[in-house]
Amino acid sequence: MIRVQSVAPDSIGGELGLAPGTELLAVNGRPLEDFLDWEFLTADDRFLLAARLPTGEAVEYDIERPEGLPMGVTLEPPRIRRSGNHCDFCFVDGNPDGLRAPLYIRDDDYRLSFRYGNFATLTNLKPWDMERIVEYRLSPLYVSVHATDPTIRRWLLRNPEAPDIIPQLGWFAERGIAFHTQVVLVPGVNDGVELERTLAALYGLGPAVVSVSVVPVALTEFSKHSLVRELTRDECRAALAAVDRMATRALAERGAPWCFGADDLYLQAGEPLPGPAWYGDFEQRENGVGAVRFLQTRIAAAVERLPDLAGKRIGVVTGRAMGPLMPQVLADVAATTGGRFELVVVENTLFGSSVTTAGLLPGAAIERALGDRRDLDFVLLPAEAVNDDLVFVDDVSADELAERLPCPVHLSYDFADVLGELGSGNAEVGTGDHSSAFRVPRSALEMSQMSRSQRCTMASKSDRCRRYSASMAAVSSSSHLSRKSFSTSSYFCSGERAVRLSSMAVFMALSFCSSTSMSR
C-alpha cells in the first residue's frame, strides 16, 4: 500500500477526487508496494485502481488515461531500504552530531539506484527484488562493487553475507540489465593487484557493465581512522595507471574508455584531467567522474546567453577540493563575460577540514566567509549544498543566510544557470512554488529531467515505455521524489548520497563541488 501526499489540481488524480491520505491499494488487482509499482502499473492507457479514501471508504476507479495526461499524484516518501553493511569508510559514521536526520540514514536501495543513480551494493536483495528488477527492467543500475574477490568485498563492506558480485551481476546481465559500477579505493585492501583483478572481472561481464569509476576513499575527522586511511599521492598515481591500462584496452576493443578515474583521483595524484571527449556522455559525472570537464562543456554551450559583466566583481563559493581546479573553469567564464570572478574557498567547520566538498558546506561557514564582503556585486553559492527545502546541512536556510550577508547571493549549479538568467534579467525572480526568494536554477532542472529520461529504459523496447516515460516525467514534475534528482536524493540517502557528495558527486555541483569519495 502507498499513500497520496498531494494531488495536482488539473490532473486525473484531481478529477477523481483523490485526496492527501488516500491509500492506493492495487492496480488491476496487483497490490502496490511502492512508487515503482505505481509508476509502472499506471502507465497503461486503461487500468483499474483500488483505493481507500481518508474517510475509510473503499473505492475502485476504472481509469482511461489520455496519453500524456498526468495522474498528478505525489506519493508519500518511500521507506528507504537500509544498508546491512558496516563499511569502515561509511560516511554516516563520519557525520558529526546535529545534522539533518536523513543524513544519518545508511541507505542501500536498488529503487533509488535506478531512479536517482544512487550507488547500491545489491547485498540486501531478496529473490522478489531480483525478479522485480528484471520485470520492470530497472536498467541501468548503479552498483558499488569495490572488489570482485568475494572475501575482499565482504571485508570492505563488513558484511559476511554479501553475495559474490560477479555471478550476481552476471545473472542480471543475462536478463538484460546493465550497470554503471564504481570501485571506492581503500589503500592496502582493493588497490594494486586487486584493482587490476576487479577491473578485469567487470570487463569480462561484457557490455552489461557500461562503465566503471575508480574513486579514492575519503574520510572526515569523525571517520574510523584507526581502520582506514586515505590514499597517498603515489597510490593515486598507481591506481590511475591501472585505470589507463584498462581504458586503453577498452578503447582498442570496444571503442570507448569504459574505465574512468574520478576527478579527485587525478587531483590527489597531481595529474591533469583528460579532455572532455574522454568522458563521452559523462555518464558518471554525478560520481565526480569528468565533472570538471562537464562543467566547462556546459559553460561553453551557454556562451551566447552569458551577460556582459564588465566591471562586476563576482564571488564564487566552493569547498577546498575544487580550489585547485576552479581557476581553469572561472577563466572561461571571465573571458566570456568580462567579469572579475573571485574564488571564495570555504573550510568546512562542521565536518572538519578533511571534508572538502562544496556540497556539504554548512551555511554558517559560508556566512563567516562572506560576512564582510560588501565589495562583491553578487556571489554564486553551490546549489547542491542545500536540500529541496533550500536548507544547508546545518539547518541554516538559504533565505536566512541571504538576509545575513552584505551582498546578493544566488544558488547555482554550473554558472551558466544563474549567469544565463542574469543575462535575460530573470535571476531575481522567485520560483513561485515556495516562499523562498531563491530560484531553482533552470539548467539544473533541465539536466535533472535529462538524467531521468536517460535512465528510463524500463521496458524500453515497447510502446509501454514511451507512455511510462511520459507519465514518470509528468508525475515527477510535481513529485517530492524527483523534482531535483540530486538534492532530493539527499533526503533519502545520506549514507550513499552524502558520500557521493563528498566525492564531488553531484555533477552540477561540480562547479563548486569537491572531489572525495567515500561511497559504498
Query: Footprint of ligand SF4 on this chain (CB under 6 A)?
Result: 83, 85-87, 90, 92, 106, 108, 121, 157, 495-496, 499, 520
Q: Does residue 2 contact residue 33 with C-beta atoms inside 8 Å?
A: yes
Of 106 and 293, nearer to ligand SF4 (C-beta) is: 106
Of 11 and 85, nearer to ligand SF4 (C-beta) is: 85
Of 11 and 83, nearer to ligand SF4 (C-beta) is: 83
**Spatial distance between the Cα atoms of 293 and 276, rounded to a whole number of angstroms:** 5
Residues in the chain: 520
Q: Does residue 216 contact residue 516 with C-beta atoms inside 8 Å?
A: yes
Give the C-alpha distances (Å, rounded to integers) separating 316 from 209, 283, 323, 358, 415: 37, 26, 10, 11, 9
Please report the beta strands in 285-399, taking only residues with DSSP state E, as ranges in sequence order: 313-319, 340-346, 378-382
CA 441 to chain centre: 16
Q: Does residue 479 contact residue 6 with C-beta atoms inside 8 Å?
A: no
First CA to last CA across the chain, in angstroms?
A: 30
Of 484 and 500, nearer to ligand SF4 (C-beta) is: 500
To ligand SF4, the closest distance from the beta carbon of 106 in angstroms equals 4
Containing 173, the helix (H) or strand (E) segment is helix 165-174
Q: Cis before residue 207, ω within 30 degrees of 0?
A: no
Dihedral angle, C-alpha 264, 217, 118, 78, nearest 10 °: -140
CA-based R_g, the chain, Å: 23
**Spatial distance between the Cα atoms of 198 and 149, rounded to a whole number of angstroms:** 7
To ligand SF4, the closest distance from the beta carbon of 489 in angstroms equals 13
To ligand SF4, the closest distance from the beta carbon of 365 in angstroms equals 25
Of 185 and 402, nearer to ligand SF4 (C-beta) is: 185
Of 86 and 368, nearer to ligand SF4 (C-beta) is: 86
To ligand SF4, the closest distance from the beta carbon of 366 in angstroms equals 27
To ligand SF4, the closest distance from the beta carbon of 122 in angstroms equals 10
To ligand SF4, the closest distance from the beta carbon of 460 in angstroms equals 29
**Spatial distance between the Cα atoms of 114 and 458, rounded to a whole number of angstroms:** 10
Of 83 and 451, nearer to ligand SF4 (C-beta) is: 83
Of 316 and 498, nearer to ligand SF4 (C-beta) is: 498
To ligand SF4, the closest distance from the beta carbon of 51 in angstroms equals 34
Of 90 and 273, nearer to ligand SF4 (C-beta) is: 90
To ligand SF4, the closest distance from the beta carbon of 488 in angstroms equals 18
Of 153 and 439, nearer to ligand SF4 (C-beta) is: 153
To ligand SF4, the closest distance from the beta carbon of 221 in angstroms equals 17
Contacts of 512 (CB under 8 A, 6+ apart): 316, 317, 318, 319, 322, 326, 358, 359, 380, 381, 382, 384, 385, 412
To ligand SF4, the closest distance from the beta carbon of 518 in angstroms equals 7
To ligand SF4, the closest distance from the beta carbon of 145 in angstroms equals 12
Q: Does residue 256 contact residue 283 with C-beta atoms inside 8 Å?
A: no
What residue has cell string 482511461? 64
Of 154 and 320, nearer to ligand SF4 (C-beta) is: 154
Per-residue DSSP letter, 161: T
**Spatial distance between the Cα atoms of 439 and 431, rounded to a whole number of angstroms:** 5
